[in-house]
């Protein structure tokens, strides 16, 4: 039964956050790299749990398109998977995240060290501060991951790309790597139920720095939405076959 398998997975999922997070936390006090060691271990545990309890597998296409130098990564946002799998794709990723997440137990402490909180109601000064921190993270070797839609969308919902991503792209002055995936079919944006299937993350060609705002937004949305639509369509066709 899907609901029971999904419930068992969520127990595994949150249990792994607590256990791995608390084990790595004391080590991280002496060496910050253990924040990423813990996050990566939690991501692996989550994907193992999805396979065991929910029959969900995953793969990555286009790894060869990942630049040697870290930069800005813009990902489709329609599943919790898009905040988990990047730890298994990229080296020491930093996420642009909501400030409210910092108050969560265990997870929030890690988020302070592997994330950049953004105040959605903040002024331009808050945005500039966030961009400055993002530049520092990139200089230290961490790609910065942002979700252009801000909030998770249901599969098939109209695209809702916020202009903030263009502002960050322009101010940070780096290439942007788009990422598409069909994770929302198996782990939807809302609800308990997780459905069996194969999730594909697809790395797309880099969008070079320096484009005008309108050109960047058109290229980013077109790239991610076209690839995501095809991944979703292919997965649904395979399920029906």
Mean pLDDT across the chain, nearest whole number? 88
Q: Count Cβ atoms within 10 A of the Cβ of residue 194 and give its class: 0-12 exposed, 13-18 middle, 19 or more buried.
A: buried
Two tokens, residue 69 = 């130098």
Quote the CA–CA distance of 85 and 81 in Å, as a whole number: 6
Q: Spell out a b/e string for 200-209, using b for 16 or more CB atoms within 10 Å of the CB, else e.
A: bbbbbebbee
Beta-carbon contacts of 167 under 8 Å, excluding residues fewer than 6 positions away, are 127, 213
- 151-208, pLDDT tens digit by residue? 899 999 999 998 888 988 998 899 999 999 999 999 999 889 999 999 999 999 999 9
Residue 110 scores a pLDDT above 70: no
Q: Spell out a b/e string for 216-239, using b for 16 or more CB atoms within 10 Å of the CB, else e.
A: bbebbbebbbebbeebbeebeeee
Q: Give me the percent of the chain exceeding a pLDDT of 90.
A: 58
Q: Give me the CATH code for the 56-240 domain, please.
A: 3.40.1130.10
- Strand, coil or helix: what is 67? coil
Give the pLDDT score at 164: 82
pTM: 0.91
> With contact defined as beta carbons under 8 Å apart, do 78 and 154 qualify?
yes
Confidence tier at 131 by pLDDT (50, 70, 90): confident
Give the pLDDT score at 44: 96
Domain chopping of the chain, boundaries: 56-240
| Alpha-carbon Rg for the chain in angstroms | 18
């Amino acid at each position: 039964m899907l609901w029971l398998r999904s419930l068992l997975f969520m127990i595994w999922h949150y249990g792994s956050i607590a256990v791995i997070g608390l084990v790595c936390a004391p080590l991280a006090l002496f060496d910050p790299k253990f924040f990423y060691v813990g996050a990566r271990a939690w991501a692996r545990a989550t994907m193992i749990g999805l396979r065991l309890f929910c029959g969900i597998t995953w793969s990555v296409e286009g790894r060869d398109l990942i630049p040697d130098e870290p930069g800005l990564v813009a990902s489709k946002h329609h599943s919790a998977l898009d905040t988990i799998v990047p730890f298994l794709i990229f080296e020491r990723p930093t996420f642009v995240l909501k400030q409210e997440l910092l108050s969560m137990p265990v997870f929030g402490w890690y988020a302070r060290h592997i994330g950049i909180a953004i105040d959605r109601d903040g002024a331009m000064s808050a945005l500039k501060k966030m961009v400055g921190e993002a530049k520092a993270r990139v200089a230290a070797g961490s790609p910065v991951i942002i979700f252009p839609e801000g909030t998770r969308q249901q599969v098939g919902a109209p695209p809702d790309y916020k202009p903030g991503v263009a502002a960050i792209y322009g101010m940070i002055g780096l290439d942007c790597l788009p990422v598409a995936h069909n994770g929302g079919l198996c782990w939807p944006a809302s609800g308990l139920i997780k459905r069996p299937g194969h999730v594909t993350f697809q790395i797309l060609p880099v969008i070079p720095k320096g484009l005008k705002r309108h050109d960047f937004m058109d290229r980013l949305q077109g790239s991610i939405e076209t690839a995501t639509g095809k991944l979703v369509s292919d997965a649904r066709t395979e399920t029906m076959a």
